[in-house]
């Protein structure tokens, strides 16, 4: 099956610092990667869509200067939360898709990163 | 109207019975349909995809799609306590890679 890894699984950082989260597709080439955020007992919220080699497309209300996304290769995307604040504490989850040539838009999720900003 | 609607539950089903989860979607052009399972504190896991009208079976799971009624369902046979989770219905419209998620139905299998 399609495997997506995410690192780190858990991070605690101080307010004002930046945190980078990596997302890798391990056994397929991901034409598109997605970043989601999920607060406790709430729905998944799509933050942005990224395609390899191009700028990410952010959903309405998501600050692109705060959540920097880089999709450097077909197997790696990173999300950097800049100048983190306690309200950024959440569960960040990436997913990867092989697109039309893959499995008809199936998205495979990484295990998630739990960010706590103190 | 929400794009993908699900009853939030919780849906309580006795162990060994059939659990039936339902989902409706608003955009008639939607082409691909997915069911994800999410355990508390974990990320979603894809359990079924369905693309054409009718039933698709995989082990204890059966996905059903009715495009005319804009309805997709998931049946879980011989429900087990380990099936207790939130089930997310998701839809792709075919215009881009994004899939639209419903808010999920919490399923509780009673031992």
Residue A28 has pLDDT above 90, yes or no: no
**Mean per-residue pLDDT for A50-78?**
92
Per-residue pLDDT, A25: 92
Q: Give the three-state DSSP class for B100.
A: strand
Q: Which residue has the tokens 């046979």?
A: B77
* Residue-wise burial string across B18-51, b where 16 or more C-beta atoms lie within 10 A, e elsewhere: ebebebbbeeeebebbbbbbbeeeebbbbbbbbe
Q: How far is B40 from chain A (nearest CA, A)?
A: 8
Q: How far is A18 from chain B (nearest CA, A)?
A: 23
Contact B97 A103 (CB under 8 A): no
Find the helix or strand (DSSP H, E) in which A24 lies. strand A19-25
Find the helix or strand (DSSP H, E) in which B54 lies. strand B54-58
Higher pLDDT, A30 or B65: B65
- Terminal Cα distance for chain B, rounded: 36
Nearest CB to B104 within list A43, A108, A110: A43
pLDDT digits (tens, 9 = 90+) for B40-88: 999 999 999 999 999 999 999 999 999 999 999 999 999 999 999 999 9
- B2 CB within 8 Å of a chain A CB: no
- B91 CB within 8 Å of a chain A CB: no
Contact B43 A31 (CB under 8 A): no
Per-residue pLDDT, A65: 95
Contacts of B34 in chain A (CB under 8 A): 106-107
pLDDT digits (tens, 9 = 90+) for A78-111: 999 999 999 999 999 999 987 544 456 889 999 9
Per-residue pLDDT, A10: 98
Interface test with B, best of A105, A109, A116 (most B CBs within 10 A): A105
Contacts of A32 in chain B (CB under 8 A): 97
- B92 CB within 8 Å of a chain A CB: yes
d(CA B98, CA A106): 10
Contact B44 A93 (CB under 8 A): yes
Q: How far is A8 from chain B (nearest CA, A)?
A: 14
pLDDT bin (cut points 50, 70, 90) of residue A1 is low
Whole-angstrom Cα Rg for chain B: 13
Q: Partners of B102 in the beta sheet?
A: none
Chains A–B, number of C-beta pairs less than 8 Å apart: 50
Using an 8 Å Cβ cutoff, are B79 and B15 in contact? yes
d(CA B80, CA B78): 6
**Mean per-residue pLDDT for A13-39?**
94
Contact A43 B101 (CB under 8 A): yes
């Amino acid at each position: 099956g399609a495997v997506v890894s995410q690192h780190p699984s858990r991070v605690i950082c101080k307010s004002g610092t930046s945190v980078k989260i990596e997302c890798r597709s391990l056994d397929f080439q991901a034409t598109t990667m997605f970043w989601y955020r999920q607060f406790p007992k709430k729905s998944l919220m799509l933050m942005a869509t990224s395609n390899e080699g191009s700028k990410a497309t952010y959903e309405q209300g998501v600050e692109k200067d705060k959540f920097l996304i880089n999709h450097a290769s077909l197997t790696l995307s990173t999300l950097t939360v800049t100048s983190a604040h306690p309200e950024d504490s959440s569960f960040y989850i990436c997913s990867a898709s092989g697109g039309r040539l893959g499995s008809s838009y199936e998205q495979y999720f990484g295990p998630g990163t739990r960010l706590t900003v103190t | 109207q929400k794009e993908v609607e699900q009853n939030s539950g919780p849906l309580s089903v006795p162990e060994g019975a059939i659990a039936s989860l339902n989902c409706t979607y608003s955009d008639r052009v939607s082409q691909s349909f997915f069911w994800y399972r999410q355990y508390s504190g974990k990320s979603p896991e894809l359990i079924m995809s369905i693309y054409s009208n009718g039933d698709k079976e995989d082990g204890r799971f059966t996905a059903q799609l009715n495009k005319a009624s804009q309805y997709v369902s998931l049946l879980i046979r011989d429900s087990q306590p380990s099936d207790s989770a939130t089930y997310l219905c998701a839809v792709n419209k075919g215009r881009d890679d994004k899939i639209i998620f419903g808010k999920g139905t919490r399923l509780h299998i009673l031992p």
